C-alpha cells in the first residue's frame, strides 16, 4: 500500500512538470504563429493610397478594355493582415472591391481573398513564397457564372519597385489559359 501511495504521489508531482514542458513548447509554437515576419513586413510596405490602371481581355485576342480605380491599403491586427479597399468605375459601372491578404506562418503560404460588387462569390488564392521575393504566383479556382463549373485561374503579383505593383490574371477558356487582366498600381 505504501508503495502504491508513493507511486501516486510521484505521478502527481511529475504531472505538472510534464504538462508545463508541453505547454511551453505549445506556447512557443503559438508565439511563432502569431508574430509577423518578413512576409508581413512586405505586405505592410504597401500601406497607403494607390492608383490602379486596369486592362481587361474577355477572351484571347479581344480588344482590351481599360479602367482606373483607386486603392487604399492598410494593415490589420498589429501588422498580420493586409486589407485593400478599391473604388472606381469599371465597364461603365460603379465599382467597389476588397482584398484581404495574409501570410500564414504555420502553413508557410500567402492567402488572398477578393470580393467586389460585381459578383457574389469570393476569389480565394494561395501562393508559396518563391526564390524571387518580388514575385508571387497565386493559384485558385472559381465558379464560372456562365456555366456554373469550377475554373482554374492564376495571378502573378510583381513588386516592380517601392511605388509600383503589377498584377496579371490568367483565366482558362476552352481549355486554354489566356491573360484576362493586368493592373498596374502606382503609389499616390
Place of cell 506556447: 27
Under 8 Å CB-to-CB from 106, ≥6 apart: which residues?
33
Q: Residue 57: phi, psi to the nearest 5?
A: -130, 125
Burial of residue 71, with CB atoms counted within 10 A of its CB: 0-12 exposed, 13-18 middle, 19 or more buried: buried
Question: Residue 54: its pLDDT value, please?
Answer: 95
Question: Residue 85: its pLDDT value, please?
Answer: 97
Question: Residue 100: its pLDDT value, please?
Answer: 98
Q: Which three cell numbers stand for residue 185?
A: 498600381
Question: Residue 10: its pLDDT value, please?
Answer: 47
Question: Residue 20: its pLDDT value, please?
Answer: 55
Question: Residue 146: its pLDDT value, please?
Answer: 87
Question: Residue 144: its pLDDT value, please?
Answer: 85
Question: Residue 159: its pLDDT value, please?
Answer: 95
Question: Residue 13: its pLDDT value, please?
Answer: 52
Task: Centre a 10 Å sphere on the Cβ of residue 152 and count the other Cβ atoms it contains.
Answer: 12
pLDDT by residue, tens only, the chain of 188 residues: 555 555 555 455 545 554 555 688 889 989 999 999 999 999 999 999 999 999 999 888 889 999 999 999 999 999 999 999 999 998 889 999 999 999 999 999 999 999 999 999 999 999 999 888 899 999 998 888 888 988 889 999 999 999 999 999 999 888 889 999 999 999 99
User: Is 125 in contact with 101 (CB distance < 8 Å)?
Assistant: no
Question: Residue 133: its pLDDT value, please?
Answer: 82
Give me the numbers of helices (H) and strands (E) for the chain, helices first please.
2, 10
Distance CA 161, CA 139 (A): 23
Q: Which three cell numbers stand for residue 69?
A: 480605380
Our CA dihedral for 65, 56, 167, 33, rounded to 10 degrees, sits at 130
Amino acid at each position: 500500500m505504501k508503495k502504491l501511495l508513493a507511486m501516486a504521489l510521484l505521478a502527481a508531482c511529475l504531472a505538472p512538470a510534464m504538462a508545463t514542458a508541453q505547454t511551453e513548447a505549445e506556447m512557443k509554437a503559438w508565439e511563432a504563429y502569431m508574430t509577423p515576419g518578413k512576409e508581413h513586413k512586405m505586405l505592410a510596405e504597401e500601406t497607403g493610397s494607390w492608383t490602379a490602371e486596369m486592362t481587361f481581355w474577355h477572351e484571347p485576342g479581344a480588344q482590351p478594355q481599360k479602367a482606373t480605380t483607386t486603392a487604399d491599403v492598410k494593415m490589420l491586427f498589429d501588422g498580420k493582415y493586409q486589407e485593400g479597399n478599391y473604388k472606381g468605375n469599371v465597364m461603365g459601372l460603379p465599382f467597389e472591391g476588397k482584398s484581404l491578404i495574409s501570410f500564414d506562418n504555420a502553413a508557410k503560404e500567402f492567402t488572398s481573398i477578393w470580393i467586389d460588387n460585381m459578383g457574389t462569390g469570393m476569389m480565394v488564392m494561395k501562393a508559396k513564397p518563391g526564390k524571387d521575393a518580388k514575385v508571387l504566383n497565386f493559384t485558385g479556382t472559381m465558379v464560372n457564372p456562365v456555366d456554373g463549373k469550377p475554373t482554374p485561374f492564376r495571378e502573378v503579383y510583381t513588386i516592380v519597385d517601392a511605388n509600383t505593383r503589377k498584377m496579371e490574371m490568367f483565366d482558362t477558356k476552352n481549355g486554354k489559359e489566356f491573360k484576362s487582366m493586368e493592373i498596374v498600381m502606382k503609389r499616390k
